[in-house]
Chain A
Amino acid sequence: MTVKVAEEWLNACAGCEISVVDMGERLLDVLKLVRFVHIPVLMDHKHLGQLGNGHHIELPEADVGILTGGIKNEEHLEVALEMRKKCKTIVAMGTCATHGGIPALSNTYHNQEILDRYYSTETTDPVSSYPGEGIPALLDRCYALDEKIRVDVYLPGCAPHPDLVFAALAALATGTELKLPDKSVCNECPTFRQGKGQLSQMRRFLQAPFYKAPDEPLDQMRCLLEQGLLCMGPVTRGGCGGNKITPRCIAARVPCRGCHGPVQQDGNQLLDMLNALASNGIDIQSLPEYTSLSRFSGAHGILSPKGK
């Protein structure tokens, strides 16, 4: 039996869809188990009928509806509501869908400020009014999916690793529960810790971390936080490295920025990180700014114009 799947992207970048394609040959196996009935990036099923004469967005019924991206305009909202209506299970795929993602950084500004900037860059011709004909109006802010519709399965990641996407699709196709890691990135990080040191300041990532040789294994490199580099590992859900386990940023000797979202779905990466730093004697004033700590999880009211 094949499982019917509908997929849509909302306030999104297509990275999650590419992660589906990046499963490699497993994609061909997945296609034997699932039947896509709607997926705009790959397939020509339309919102307003195949002859373009409909008036309301209409999606086919499906067992599983996968949504990527947050909700930032009226069309995103209409698609999300229609998807909820037509699908038995809704999967929020990617950190934009689960927590707003990078686009929710816009929540520290009013729409007027965003439009004023975009339509007044040095190369833009002067305009008397902003576009609005036949395009969806912006909502007041960028919402995570579960602020607007009920979500059954959360699959964070920016983008989720293809291994994780494969595990999720396999679980959905076989009707088994998807188990996400419930520990932090640090739990999977191979670097070593020496315990509390004399560290009181965080450095910006302007130099490489210390390690002895280019081919030195990661487990011989000291924890990047202990080296004084801000790393969001402690407040970020693990699993980003897929089957290879090692967190993807650490694999490149680069500190984590939190793209897997908070460890618990309702966590707050910004507050949790500031608390973690402060309780370890770090002067949080040494950070250049705070908003970026919520760069992946600014929906759910966490980032707002007054809080910037």
Chain B
Amino acid sequence: MSKTINISPITRIEGHASIAIQLDDQGDVADAKVHVMSLRGFEKFVEGKPAEEIPRIVNRICGICPWHHHLASNKAVDRCFGVTPPPAGTKLRELMQTIAHAEDKLLHFFFLAAADFVMGPDSDYAVRNVIGVAQANPELATKVVKMRYMAKMMLEKLSGKAIHPHAGVAGGFCRPLLEEERKEFLAQMKELLEFALFTIQMAKKDIFPQYLDTVKSLGVINTGFMGTVDDQGSLNLYDGTVRLMKPDGSLTEFQIQDYADHIGEHVEPYSYGKFPYAKSWNEGFSMDLENPKGIYRANTLARINVADSMATPLAQAELEEFRSLFGRPAQATLLYHWARLIEEVYACERAIELLMDPDITDTDIRAEVEPGAGRGVGCVEAPRGTLIHDYSTDDNGMMTRANIIVGTTHNLGPMNMSVRQAANTVIRGGEVSEGALNRIEMAVRAYDP
């Protein structure tokens, strides 16, 4: 008899989603789908509000990556009003975003994902979590918690608020960085870089080798990739040109204001979340495992695949090692974790560069702003992918329209595919175990949705 297995909710992820697996009469997987359960309506309810207030509203889209929504929104508003922040204003925004990336990756690796590897995919759910990891490794747990707290406190100290920030203001940044704060943050970022290097070395030595077979098989699909690069083709998290890579590795580039020529959003009846796809490939949308159409991925693995290089030396060394092992583009889904730790090194190095920049303490941080009619597209690389906020305003600078493409959503198609691939692999003849279901979730967790 056919039956349905509901993994509800998917846990140790950031949002609200579940998996429905349909088994056929033989107990093999007939179909598997990821349901995205949440719809809040931000695109509608920002209409009619003063545009300069929007960065303090849309940050509530995500409490894990509020800085990225906040800053993409800041950029969109600035462009609607035709204003460019002074250099220090832009650099302080990037500094905040980079520190937010650094803490976010620690959060995902240690708090959400690590349990699958440290405690094992088949361990009891009561210990297969950060609390279990902390009890098994109290010293490491204390260090992780301290390091992440230090990063969050930098955000709070400079801008008052680490979750749901208000630091980016129309035309620039809320307040200058003082010299004594710069010195303090620089010392702290150096400590964080040490910890990032420790983390990736530990993962390469103790974690990834143990799971290499799983990495090469679980949730593996063949797709294109999207990410942002600077004018040298190096990965950039804050600004640059968007690159779209086909599964064969060929690249096209576009400026973010032209995003609608390249990205479409497909709708499926079983998910509130929409499915972005590469419209400019002119092949439509299909999640067929053998012959996908229009499917690309975003987030860490995608960014390091599309980038020619990393802009900082230690991250570049890590990228070279990664590429020598897995090639370009690397397709194995669980490699998102490895790529995340490479980006962690980059984020720390980049924050240090910014803190050594003589402009960073300049007190000219905010340009004069006149509200008015315009259209502005703002984009940053959020931890979970290329994040696009596209706004229009009327003569009074009030919002008339918004289109938001959230980082996580780029991976909805790929996540559905990885779940189907993983389910096919771990469920056979009606045999279902907790460990098998957790392995299917691991294929989702890699995307850090």
Contacts and interface: CB of A to CB of B under 8 A. Distances in A.
Interface of A: 9, 11-19, 21-22, 24-25, 27-28, 31, 36, 40-48, 50-54, 72-73, 75, 101-103, 105-106, 108-109, 113-115, 117-119, 121-125, 127, 129-136, 138, 158-159, 204-208, 214-215, 248-254, 257, 259, 288-289, 291-292, 295, 308
B438 interface: yes
16 contacts: A14-B15, A14-B63, A15-B60, A22-B148, A40-B9, A43-B131, A45-B125, A47-B9, A50-B437, A73-B38, A106-B40, A106-B44, A121-B43, A121-B265, A289-B49, A292-B50
A118 to B, nearest CB: 6
Contacts of A295: 57
A163 to B, nearest CB: 11
Given A52-B5, A122-B403, A252 B175 contact: yes
A203 B268 CA distance: 45
A188 B367 CA distance: 30
B166 A252 contact: yes
Nearest to A36: B131
A133 B4 CA distance: 14
A53 B265 CA distance: 32
Contact of A13 (B3, B62, B441): B62
Interface string B1-33: 001011111011111101011000000000001
Contact of B7 (A19, A52, A250, A288): A52
A289 B48 contact: yes
A291 B36 CA distance: 29
Given A11-B40, A42-B131, A159 B405 contact: no
Nearest to A8: B9
A17 B441 CA distance: 20
Given A19-B163, A51-B5, A113-B44, 11 more contacts: A11-B40, A14-B14, A22-B148, A44-B128, A134-B18, A207-B368, A214-B176, A214-B363, A248-B156, A251-B161, A289-B49
B101 to A, nearest CB: 15
B11 A40 contact: yes
Nearest to B284: A125
Contact of A135 (B3, B5, B167, B270): B270
Interface in B116-153: 125, 128-131, 134, 141-142, 145-146, 148-149, 152-153
Nearest to A47: B8
A31 B166 CA distance: 31
Given A22-B152, A135-B37, A46 B11 contact: yes
B369 A291 contact: no
B212 interface: no
A28 B145 contact: yes
| Most central of B48, B134, B160 by chain A CB within 10 Å | B160
Contacts of A115: 39
A133 B269 contact: yes
A105 B433 CA distance: 43
A13 to B, nearest CB: 4
B265 A257 contact: no
Contacts of A130: 267
A291 B233 CA distance: 44
A191 B164 CA distance: 23
Contact of A158 (B20, B164, B267): B164
A52 B53 CA distance: 43
B337 interface: no
Interface residues of B, number: 108
A40 B21 CA distance: 20
Nearest to B279: A123
Interface in B252-291: 259-260, 263-272, 274, 276, 279, 285
A67 to B, nearest CB: 14
Contacts of A25: 142, 145-146, 149
Contacts of A24: 145-146, 148-149, 152-153
B241 interface: no
A191 to B, nearest CB: 13
A136 B63 contact: no
B274 A124 contact: yes
Closest CB pairs A-B (n = 9): A15-B63, A24-B149, A251-B160, A252-B160, A114-B41, A52-B5, A13-B63, A102-B60, A44-B125
Interface in B184-236: none
A121 B409 CA distance: 15
Given A123-B405, A207-B366, A9 B125 contact: no
Contacts of A132: 269
Contact of B371 (A46, A117, A204): A204
Contacts of B368: 207
A165 B68 CA distance: 24
Nearest to A75: B37
B437 A52 contact: yes
A224 B403 CA distance: 33
A16 B63 contact: yes
A192 to B, nearest CB: 18
A237 B62 CA distance: 23
B170 to A, nearest CB: 6
| Most central of B5, B8, B38, B45 by chain A CB within 10 Å | B45
A234 B334 CA distance: 50
A304 to B, nearest CB: 13
Nearest to B181: A215
A25 B398 CA distance: 43
Contacts of B49: 289, 291-292
B161 A248 contact: yes
